[in-house]
Amino acid sequence: QATYLKDYLPPAYRVTHTELTFDLDPSATRVKARLHVERHPERDEADLPLELFGEALTLVSVAIDGQPLEPHEFQEDEKGLTITRVPARFQLDTEVEIDPDANTALEGLYRSNGMFCTQCEPEGFRRITFYPDRPDVMATFSTTVIGDAKTLPVLLSNGNPVEKGELPNGRHFVTWEDPHPKPAYLFALVAGSLEKVEDHFTTMSGREVLLQIWVEPENLDKTEHAMASLKRSMKWDEETYGREYDLDRFMIVAVNDFNMGAMENKGLNIFNSAAVLTHPQTATDATFQRVEGIVAHEYFHNWSGNRVTCRDWFQLSLKEGFTVFRDQTFSADVNSAPVKRIEDVSFFRTAQFAEDAGPTAHPVRPDHYIEISNFYTLTIYEKGAEVVRMLRHLLGWDDFRRGSDLYFERFDGQAVRIEDFVACMAEVSGLDLNQFMRWYAQAGTPEIDAHGEYDYATGHYHLRLSQRTPATPGQFDKLPLHIPVRMGLVGTKSGHDLTLKLTDESGETQTLGKDGVIHLREAEQTFVFTDVEEAPVPSLLRGFSAPVKLRYPYSREDLAFLLTHDSDGFNRWDAGQRLTLLALDDLIAAHRNGVEKVMDVRLVDAYRALLTEASDDKAVLAEMLTLPSEAYIAEQQPVVDVDAIHAAREFVRQSLAWQLRDEFLAVYHDNRSDEAYAPTPEQIAERRLKNVALAYLMSVEDEEAVTLTQQQLDQGANMTDVRAALTLLAHSDRSDLAEPALKAFGEKWAHDPLVMDQWFTIQVTRPQADVLERVRFLMNHPLFSLKNPNKVRALIGAFAQNRVNFHRLDGEGYKLLADVVIELNRLNPEIAARIITPLTRWQRFDETRQALMKAELERIRAEKLSPNVYEMVERALADA
């Protein structure tokens, strides 16, 4: 039941205009659809049947040009409706009944807290009405929503409201028109008892746009930041990409039950409340920044996704990769750019590298799938964004922008492919991007081995790079990729970047400046730099210029040198990470061999220097002081030893805390502020730095630190500080303080679901051994529900990231996750298929754990499975 890219055919019929009427009822909503249909010009064969997708619909009637169809004139099955003979051009009328309250999958039309809402991407529209539900069918929409005037005072859909009125029996209606042709996945409807916050934006050509954020009444005070972020995004897209908004209004709605972060429906973005609501007292700095990024992401989709959309779902990264790249750059521009890059890359190297190395690895453009919902992955989104970023490196900003302009102009109103985007970039720059296209086709993380040699006599520096991409499921032989390596050579005497003069065999020299991009295209390639005046340490892959693993035999002295002298903020941070990883390697080995652990003094010295030398960028400093996560350390090990990694990392944390106690305390005090909360980069950096310092001190339960933590919690200045303090107490062994604090917090915030999500997470991410029992206990908490994806993520998802406890040797962690997957498989297959991920990574662990994890996967496989979970389990067990 797989779908293959190579089988693509244009649809036999297209829809030019779609008229919908919804008569809303919680369990029996009626949907009438009138589709204006015509034969597709590229498939102009007579007598092709009309194929309409439809799932979980009860057909009431179907007619062509006003003539009801006889039962023998169409076939209905669980996938949809086929009408055998249709004219070349006609009107199709259907009526169906659907049951929003029975919809726990949260795809199509469903109810959340009494509010009706929709999620149609990728294939949810077929749960609303019979339709050629594929992105290459684009129509204008006119939607009438009818509902009870009392309980559903607000009725929203895409575009502009054109008519409204009262109806008998206390009902009312609103008709919406969306003049921009769109695929059905961008359709949206919202109805409920909502209130709004309004603002305005004047576009660059002088048009007034009404901006609205719709929320439940108690959340009206949590919209300010999202609104400010929206206005910033609209301005940024005009200034940076020349893109202007194209409707008279732009609406955002916050919904509690939502599978993903948010959805870019035309003119009516629907958001998970967790991705839009903020308030200093309820949301952390990280949430403020995440909201800003997601608001921008969805807004940017209006061009990269909506005006120009995907021909088919294999092209998903066309819109997602580009849009993630756009939102990352936006966030970098309005916050600290190096920190944004550090955050994105450390997440990427932990999570996407793991995906690319596991059984569910797939290319940025997959060539087949069973369930497309399973492909909203880190590879499609984040690696896709890295690939676009590489294009930007290869072309430079000016050509990249010209390529982007050409793409939007040439393909406006069309559904296109990834090669159409890349072809625009090739056309404006004259670059040959054929080899580059392999990035879209080959899965797996390329590995680069680098060796450098300096010749004192000639002043030549030879840099030898070799690349190889490991085999991934279904792809054994990989070809060399076109990889942009941004680099510098840092003089060991001067501590400065040396001028890069790249010289080829014929003696031709190209001056790249002090920071340049070299193009690696061959499996092995040597780059010669001439007139290198002093012995350098190479700084390679600056800013993480390509999504690869780069190995270079750096000594600890080299790394300490780069840590202080690299002009690239990202690589300075990365040098610190590499230095720490070397120390951790020794400690992990010591732990396994039962040898006493000894702290590397060079690491202590490096941290002392960071803490005492005045730093102008506090945000970067906070990142530098943050140890690599257990998950990232695990990524570096051939076989993951969960306990050794935890013990080694704790040892480093505590050693640093003992030896640099006064320095950490000073940082804590220097970064306390009485200013009123604002989510500014400066304040965020100070809070981060302060809380990082406190976390070190709390790792050894320093008496003074315990007092400071308790004070910070009691002061309750903002959720960032409160959550940091509560987490530190809850994760310490001071249960005398932790338990009352958790209890008080839980009572204080019981009315706020988003704060309670944090309360669940804090408890199940503790290192203490009682966590699994706590998860089982909390699953019965009255505020927990498996039907709410945010709760599932906050409790179960967070627990599965708690490495020492999830990977317990008695297998109880795996069993708990499998139980949840089995239950969610029935309720919400998309979430079930996502939450199962940690179990699919069994190959990375020791034999005992492998066997336990596989046994749970087998137990899941024995169930009657949704296509979503079936596909994940089959891939996970493929070479077991």
By the rule CB under 6 A, 260 interacts with ligand ARG = yes
d(CA 675, CA 694): 20
Q: How far is the CB of 1 from ligand ARG (least distance, A)?
A: 19
Nearer to ligand ARG, 380 or 520 (CB): 380
Work out which of 95, 136, 178, 320 binds ligand ARG, going by CB under 6 A.
320
Q: Is 263 in the site for ligand ARG (CB under 6 A)?
A: yes
Residue 376 touching ligand ARG (CB under 6 A): yes
- Should residue 558 be labelled a site residue for ligand ARG when binding is judged by CB under 6 A? no
Name the residue number minimizing CB distance to ligand ARG.
376
Please identify which residue in 264, 327, 497, 623 interacts with ligand ARG, judged by CB under 6 A.
264
For the beta carbon of residue 766, count every other beta carbon within 10 angstroms: 19
Does 78 participate in catalysis according to the annotation? no
Give whichever of 377 and 758 is closer to ligand ARG, judged by the CB atom.
377
**How many Å apart are CA 270 and CA 420, to the nearest integer?**
29
Residue 269 beta carbon to Zn ion: minimum distance, rounded to whole angstroms: 11
Count of residues in contact with ligand ARG, rule CB under 6 A: 13
Helices (H), 498-641: 556-565, 569-593, 601-612, 618-624, 630-636
- Binding residues among 268-297 for ligand ARG as defined by CB under 6 A: 297
Instruction: Supply the minimum distance, in Å, between the C-beta of residue 384 and ligand ARG.
Output: 11
The residue within the footprint of ligand ARG, chosen from 103, 212, 259, 445 (CB under 6 A), is 259
296 binds, among ligand ARG, Zn ion, none (CB under 5 to 8 A by kind): none
Q: Which stretch binds ligand ARG (CB under 6 A): 262-270, 279-287, 576-584, 720-728?
A: 262-270
Q: How far is the CB of 176 from ligand ARG (least distance, A)?
A: 21
Output 553-560 pairs: Cβ under 8 A, ≥24 positions apart.
553/451, 554/578, 556/582, 556/600, 556/602, 560/602, 560/605, 560/606
Return the one option of Zn ion, ligand ARG, none that residue 757 interacts with (CB less than 5 to 8 A, by type).
none
Quote the crossing angle between the two packed helices 285-300 and 719-730, to the nearest 10°. Answer: 120
| Helices 681-699 and 285-300: angle between axes, nearest 10 degrees | 130
Distance between CA atoms of 521 and 546, rounded to whole angstroms? 13
Name the residue with tokens 């999504």. 547
Integer Cα distance of 398 and 429 in angstroms: 9
434, exposed or middle or buried, with CB in 10 Å at 0-12, 13-18, 19+? exposed
Task: Provide, rounded to whole angstroms, the least separation between the CB of residue 187 and ligand ARG.
Answer: 13
Q: Which does 373 bind (CB under 5 to 8 A by kind): Zn ion, ligand ARG, none?
A: ligand ARG
CB of 275 to ligand ARG, least distance (A): 9
Least distance from C-beta 548 to Zn ion, angstroms?
24
The one segment of 255-263, 426-434, 566-574, 817-825 that binds ligand ARG by CB under 6 A: 255-263
Quick check: 665 binds ligand ARG (CB under 6 A)? no
Q: 95-124 mask for ligand ARG (x: CB under 6 A)?
A: ------------------------x-x---
Q: Least distance from C-beta 391 to ligand ARG, angstroms?
A: 20
User: Which of the ranges 316-324, 466-474, 771-779, 868-876 carries the binding residues for Zn ion, by CB under 5 A?
Assistant: 316-324
The catalytic residue among 95, 123, 264, 298 is: 298
Per-residue binder mask for Zn ion (CB under 5 A), 317-346, x = binder: ---x--x-----------------------
DSSP 8-state symbol, 275: G
Three-state SS for 586-622 is HHHHHHHHCCCCCCCHHHHHHHHHHHHCCCCCHHHHH
- In the numeric block, the tokens 């998860």 are attached to 775
Q: CB under 5 to 8 A by kind: which of ligand ARG, Zn ion, none does 772 bind?
A: none
Of residues 791-830, those binding ligand ARG (CB under 6 A): 830
Taking CB under 6 A as the rule, does residue 86 contact ligand ARG?
A: no
> Which of helix, strand or coil describes residue 137?
coil
CA dihedral sign, ordered 466, 471, 477, 483: negative
Contacts of 806 (CB under 8 A, 6+ apart): 799, 800, 813, 814, 817, 838
Q: Which is nearer to Zn ion, 327 or 686 (CB)?
A: 327
Lateral strand order in the sheet of 74-77: 50-53, 80-83, 74-77
Stretch of 260-268, 345-353, 638-646, 652-660 contacting ligand ARG, by CB under 6 A: 260-268
Does 133 engage in binding with ligand ARG (CB under 6 A)?
A: no
For residue 130, give the nearest of 63, 65, 59 by alpha carbon. 59
**Smallest distance from the beta carbon of 261 to Zn ion, in angstroms?**
8
298 near ligand ARG, rule: CB under 6 A: yes
CA distance 28 to 9: 36
CA distance 497 to 142: 60
Which of 239, 242, 116 has its CA nearest to residue 188? Answer: 116
Quote the least distance from Cβ 320 to Zn ion, whole Å: 5
* CA torsion through residues 43, 49, 52, 53, sign: negative
> Considering only 109-117, 174-182, 258-266, 526-534, which stretch makes contact with ligand ARG by CB under 6 A?
258-266
**Which one among 15, 57, 105, 262 touches ligand ARG, defined by CB under 6 A?**
262
Task: Give the number of residues in contact with Zn ion, rule: CB under 5 A.
Answer: 2
In angstroms, the CA 305 to CA 266 distance is: 10
Q: Is 561 in the site for ligand ARG (CB under 6 A)?
A: no
Is 373 an interacting residue with respect to ligand ARG (CB under 6 A)? yes
Is residue 348 at the binding interface for ligand ARG, with CB under 6 A as the rule?
no
Q: CA 823 from chain center: how many Å?
A: 25
**Nearest of 388, 362, 359, 356 to residue 375 by alpha carbon:** 362
- Local structure of residue 313 (DSSP, 8 states): G
- Interacting residue ranges for ligand ARG, rule: CB under 6 A: 119, 121, 259-260, 262-264, 297-298, 320, 373, 376, 830
- Give the catalytic positions in this structure: 298
